[in-house]
Amino acid sequence: MMGGVRFLKGHGTGNDFVILPEGTPELTPDFVAAVCDRRRGIGGDGVLRVARSSLPGVDWFMDYWNSDGSLAEMCGNGVRVFARYLAAAGLAAGTVPIETRAGVVRAVIGDETISVDMGFPKVYGDSSARVGGLELPGVAVDCGNPHLVCALPASVPLESLDLHLPPGHDEEFYPAGVNVEFYVPVDDLHVRMRVHERGSGETLSCGTGAVAVAVVALAAAGRETGAVTVDVPGGRLTVTLDGAECHLAGPAVIVASGELSR
């Protein structure tokens, strides 16, 4: 790791990130993996490097990396934590556009909750996941990054799934890998989910995963619009689709700051 580099630590419903302020040198896969190591580094599901955007009318670019050192197109909770950092640092307030590798999103910064306009997710086919000897049908959803959403049958408890290893998937359908979500209904437009994220493993929360699950849950209820409550192991997110936009809302906090010693 690089000594003398400032960092902050933040999370959104337990989805935690190491934040590297503006001026941090370009990252490398080895550096990111070392920083995210939970025993030998700071620990995190990924790294958010704050950089300037070159797009007109957009000040900030979120340079997001998964904990294994791979690049990611988008991270819904990451955007919310990124926005919380900008607000805490006095760099943004109200509504702020943020460039990601999947395009520009807009975060609305509140006292406790941060909401992000995620664009509109696209359902683009069917596939399946394999976990614990089960073959589960799923729906492919593009949220700026690839997702496979699997509704669990009533006979399979959500807690019973072993997500320490990546679920098997169709590698021709998902040549760049995939984030896999499993969900069960709680009530009308209220679900619980777990996720295995490409490049990070099972996480306590996944913003784009919650969006993907909400889209599938709405379709299962015969609806295209509405607000879906998504309970993840790390807390609760709300996904609202109005037919043109999709908003992801939930808490985002900064919990620590410091400097890398080596």
Same domain, 44 and 102: yes
pLDDT band at 4 (very low <50, low <70, confident <90, very high): confident
- Give the pLDDT confidence of 219-247 residue by residue, as tens digits: 999 999 999 999 999 999 999 999 889 99
Contact at 8 Å (CB) between 104 and 79? no
Q: How much is the mean pLDDT over the chain? A: 96
CATH code for the domain of 153: 3.10.310.10
pLDDT in tens, 131-178: 999 999 999 999 999 999 999 999 999 999 999 999 999 999 999 999
**Whether residue 108 sits in one domain with residue 11:** yes
Q: Do residues 221 and 182 both lie within one domain?
A: yes
The pLDDT of residue 262 is above 90: no
Residue 131, both tokens: 């976990």
The answer to the question of residue 75 being in a domain is yes
Quick check: is 66 in a domain?
Answer: yes
In a domain, 1, yes or no: no
The verdict on 131 and 184 lying in the same domain is: yes
Rounded alpha-carbon distances, angstroms, from residue 113 to 81, 178, 239, 251, 259: 10, 28, 13, 4, 27
Q: Which two structure tokens, joined as six digits, stand for 211? A: 């969006």
**Which residue range forms the structural domain that includes residue 220?**
122-244
pLDDT-derived band of residue 191, with 50, 70 and 90 as boundaries? very high
Helices (H), 143-249: 207-220
pLDDT one-digit tens code per residue, 7-49: 999 999 999 999 999 999 999 999 999 999 999 999 999 999 9
223 and 143 within one domain: yes
pTM > 0.85? yes
Task: Say yes or no: 87 and 179 in one domain.
Answer: no
In this structure, the answer to whether residues 46 and 158 fall within a common structural domain is no
d(CA 108, CA 15) in angstroms, rounded, equals 19
* Claim to verify: residue 207 and residue 233 sit in the same structural domain: yes
Instruction: Say what percent of the chain tops pLDDT 90.
Output: 95
For residues 185 and 176, give the distance between their C-alpha atoms in angstroms, rounded to a whole number: 29
Number of domains in the chain: 2
Do 128 and 236 fall into the same domain?
A: yes
Residues 128 and 240 in one domain: yes
For the annotated catalytic residues, the residue numbers are 75, 206
Helices (H), 123-252: 207-220
Q: Is 21 left (phi over 0), alpha (psi -120 to 50) or beta?
A: beta
Same domain? 105 vs 129: no
Domain match, 105 and 20 both: yes
